[in-house]
Homo-oligomer: A and B are copies of this chain.
Amino acid sequence: MNAPKTARQRARAELTKEITDAARLRLAAEGAAALSLRAVARDLGMVSSAVYRYFASRDELLTALLLDAYNAVGEQAEHADATARNDSASPVQRWTAVWHGVRAWALAHQHEFALLYGTPVPGYAAPADTTVAAARMPLTLMSIVNDTAKSGELAQSGGPSAAAGLVADTVRDTAHPDVTAETLNRVLMAWSQLIGTIGFELFGHFNGVVTDNDAYFTHVAHRCALDVGLPGSAD
């Protein structure tokens, strides 16, 4: 099943890829709302009805792009972390490496970022099986916290502590036992802070507010690492 046998099967796999690639280009150029099957078909020099041999509807094509994009950010996050670990980086360094990896991806794929984290496409409901792909990025952040907890270096956050039941059990189960409910809460906050900060930058809310987006983002990444309890230089 991994290696298609017949020429037909090979051609089908290739064309499916060509279609999603062309669709991704359209998406990058004009955004998800403007993505049309007809435009994609035109770009490939085929007739619009031919695309229906490969995708049953526009929504199915969108789903493919959505999945690809989630996996792309996830991979970027995992790769950034792996590289940092190879350099035997500190937890804070791993954390900021992932943050910068995600932001770099977002800046390079603005419309894909918007597809994932912006306004949901009207009339389109993402199927449930996208959640696995969607989870890769936040799970990378979680793994850094888990590793730190394992080595006993995780700082406990002061102040109010989150109630235990706030977070779903399936999420709780991804955390090391030493990770408190409040730390888990902090990881969630950091996750939405990461996406929220990038979103504000891309969607223009920081125009005239933040003068240096690079420096601001770096600072926020660092702050969140400390808030979560990762040990690191005080500066």
Contact = CB atoms under 8 A, between A and B. Distances in A.
Interface string A130-157: 0100100000000000000000000000
Interface in A93-121: 114, 117-121
A166 B206 CA distance: 11
A166 to B, nearest CB: 5
B208 A131 contact: yes
Nearest to A235: B160
B119 A119 contact: yes
Interface in A5-34: 30-34
Interface string A206-229: 011111100110011011001100
Nearest to A207: B131
A212 B166 CA distance: 6
A162 B201 CA distance: 18
Contacts of A234: 158-160
A165 interface: yes
Nearest to A201: B192
A210 B168 contact: yes
A197 interface: yes
Interface residues of A, number: 57
B209 A188 contact: yes
A167 B209 CA distance: 6
B210 A167 contact: yes
A204 B71 CA distance: 18
B220 A189 contact: yes
Nearest to A120: B203
A57 interface: no
Given A31-B119, A167-B210, A212-B165, A222 B192 contact: no
Interface of A: 30-34, 114, 117-122, 126, 131, 134, 158-163, 165-168, 170-171, 185-186, 188-189, 192-193, 195-197, 199-200, 203-205, 207-212, 215-216, 219-220, 222-223, 226-227, 234-235
